[in-house]
Structure 1
């Protein structure tokens, strides 16, 4: 009798567990690299939205973009893929598509009308050979110029720099006041961001596209490009000795605590200001570009969906793609991440003044350009970063840097 009741109870428990699992909906294990304070708060918004839609979110955070992508790819090759993995909206996942290692989410993209609501640069990255292999999460602009209001006041910088000359003048005043003029993390990808900012603001849109999109050897050998490199190297004279190896969010913290004046970094830095309870326009300022016509660099994050024939996993992938692009998720995520929504049809009136600036600029398509990774292959981008880091950290002559970059970007 006891054994019969025990079996019955065990059966009921097993049935209940199975029913609970079924009721919980599709489980999604998501690999990402959002580990800083602002990033963690942002990804939680996607997790909340996914759970609210009936799914089960399994969070696998791996610090560092290169490391997270490597973990995801190794898992795919090893036959144990996650449901989704974070990449940038770039050429980073083209090899995975060519190898047949990704599922597409065409059904979701067509149902939600992605071709009507996404900016062209983003659309052309996630749509490959007519299929949608990634869901874009956000639009980032990587070359914002952030500044500490307290540091500017202490240094006597009366107004926001509106030109390259005014920026250097502000850096000189910050240095004279005993502050760190430029908070910088000495890592190759961060030096690449500073270079892109200088190329966009000193060289302008035409030279920017000639270098990255066209890889025009005449433009790379030109005097205007040499001027860009000299301005880039000049900025290195404003960083502190502790810069090498510093994480980007630690550099942002230098502005938050008033020890440094300026940082050139993507709008994800705004998530760190927010986490520190600082308000745009009150505690810090944000400059999208030095001039009304400066190019607005478009970058972003995306999730790809590893190949699987498991029906529940495919359901999870489609549900996740649908949830990420939903207007409510886009607004909630962007508030914490510092990005702006990928959709052109959301009500972003509650977002801060930096986001409002970005959204206003996004309406002017003539200012849209992609970041280096949209135009360059991973190998080309890596070779460029190697030259930029060597030029930044050594006494390499500008002429040698110019020739080395031309060689790195030769088609």
Structure 2
């Protein structure tokens, strides 16, 4: 480690210790952290936070729970049951706002003020983590859930020269992949994956205005429009390009098909890059990535946060503040993002460690006109669940576009 990096690390640790009031040679601040990052790339990423926390005088106690829904349920049950973890993972969304409303979370205002979060983080993230004038979560990444990842050797074999610039070009490329004898579209047939695939199509085919009218405004006229009907029809066309093994498949197993050259392309969040990285594949050489069709495609903003369950224990509060400081620090952000496939939640970082896909994402995020909040930032968990049910039903059953449109409109009414 060169002197500059040593100085940066020591400075970051000193700041963390100053904020939390930790003194040298004190007992390590134990932090029990619930998260759902269990795949190869995810485990490597969360280790970056754990190592940084331990170096800063803490003791990270890892509590990985496979599956996002299961991990959130575990955290909520422990909070309600009086045995709260120090921190728990949620998505950058409204998922944890009920906990805020019930007074079950501590705020991290001291860290947010010291670190000037209000001036650094994107507004859509601030809107998610802040309520009633207080900061209740530490954001740890920005994910874009609608990237397109493809095998460069498979594309070359199929005679596909470059990234598609429209949805119609994408369908034509999928036809070429089918003729080449590979799985055109690697899809994990689970409801959440079918929903993010739909949202990718919605953002690109429907455009930002229609997307926001539906998800943010719940505009009945927009949902019942011919433009939204076209979105649904376009989405269902993709069904012709998935394989029979798709239903129930995990997302990382779908990524593995692309990595192995058995499938052409996968629509997935940029966390999939962690799997490519773990397989020693290089973006631009072994696989390609594009965030949508054309240079002005919308960029869906999503991500993950850690919340801090209510406690009056002084050491636990110090541990929570130390976690919030470490997780959002420039050094840990870059180390984590390089493994996770995400981009940092702050722009003032050294991008040299990040890959070409991440650098493209960071460049796009500078253009606020291309940013679109993911649906979970705009809808309650119950509403998001109801719409996911509509989409997965449409995908898996022989349902007409008209009937799907009516079901979507009904679910959106709540």
- Provide the TM-score with structure 1 as the length reference: 0.94
CA distance in 1, matches of 2:95, 2:246: 28
**Residues 287-312 of structure 1 deviation map (CA, whole Å, 9 limit, x = unaligned):** 11102221110000000000000111
CA distance in 2, matches of 1:216, 1:167: 29
CA distance in 2, matches of 1:348, 1:193: 27
Cα deviation for residue 159 of structure 1 reads 1.6
| 1:205/1:294 contact within 8 Å kept | no
Going from structure 1 to structure 2, the CA distance change for 1:79 and 1:22 (only over 3 Å counts) comes to farther
Name the stretch that deviates more: 23-32 or 133-142: 23-32
Alignment of 1:308-387 (within 5 A): 308-387=311-390
Structure exhibiting the larger radius of gyration computed from Cα positions = 1
Cα deviation for residue 22 of structure 1 reads 6.9
Question: Which of 388, 397, 414 is equivalent to 1:394?
Answer: 397
Cα deviation for residue 347 of structure 1 reads 2.0
Give the corresponding residue for 1:164. 167
| 1:220/1:402 contact within 8 Å kept | yes
Alignment of 1:96-175 (within 5 A): 96-175=99-178
| 1:384/1:409 contact within 8 Å kept | yes
**Residues 322-364 of structure 1 deviation map (CA, whole Å, 9 limit, x = unaligned):** 0011000000000000000000221213311000100000000
Give the corresponding residue for 1:249. 252
**Residues 108-143 of structure 1 deviation map (CA, whole Å, 9 limit, x = unaligned):** 000000001100000111011110000000000000
Alignment of 1:55-66 (within 5 A): 55-66=58-69
Give the corresponding residue for 1:72. 75
Cα deviation for residue 68 of structure 1 reads 0.1
Cα deviation for residue 269 of structure 1 reads 0.2
Name the stretch that deviates more: 290-299 or 345-354: 345-354
Cα deviation for residue 86 of structure 1 reads 0.2
Alpha-carbon RMSD across the aligned residues, in angstroms, is 1.0
Residue 206 (structure 1) aligned with residue 209 (structure 2):
yes
Q: Classify the secondary structure of the residue corresponding to 2:305.
A: strand
| 1:24/1:56 contact within 8 Å kept | no
CA distance in 1, matches of 2:350, 2:372: 24
Give the corresponding residue for 2:225. 222
Question: Which of 46, 51, 54 is equivalent to 1:51?
Answer: 54
| 1:108/1:322 contact within 8 Å kept | yes
- Provide the TM-score with structure 2 as the length reference: 0.93
| 1:26/1:313 contact within 8 Å kept | yes
Q: Classify the secondary structure of the residue corresponding to 1:349.
A: helix
**Residues 362-389 of structure 1 deviation map (CA, whole Å, 9 limit, x = unaligned):** 0000011111100010111010010100
Give the corresponding residue for 2:13. none
Show structure 1 runs of 5+ residues with no match: 1-20
CA distance in 2, matches of 1:292, 1:256: 26
Residue 300 (structure 1) aligned with residue 314 (structure 2):
no
**Residues 190-243 of structure 1 deviation map (CA, whole Å, 9 limit, x = unaligned):** 001100000011011111111111111101000010000001000011000000
Give the corresponding residue for 1:16. none
CA distance in 2, matches of 1:141, 1:358: 8
Show structure 2 runs of 5+ residues with no match: 1-23
Q: Classify the secondary structure of the residue corresponding to 1:161.
A: coil
Q: Classify the secondary structure of the residue corresponding to 2:285.
A: coil
CA distance in 2, matches of 1:378, 1:255: 31
Cα deviation for residue 23 of structure 1 reads 3.0
CA distance in 2, matches of 1:216, 1:293: 24
Q: Classify the secondary structure of the residue corresponding to 1:244.
A: coil
Would you say how many aligned residue pairs link Structure 1 and Structure 2? Answer: 391
| 1:299/1:371 contact within 8 Å kept | yes
Q: Classify the secondary structure of the residue corresponding to 1:124.
A: helix
Give the corresponding residue for 2:45. 42
Give the corresponding residue for 1:177. 180
Q: Classify the secondary structure of the residue corresponding to 1:298.
A: strand
CA distance in 2, matches of 1:237, 1:59: 42
Question: Which of 256, 277, 280 is equivalent to 1:277?
Answer: 280
CA distance in 2, matches of 1:403, 1:359: 38
CA distance in 2, matches of 1:64, 1:223: 37
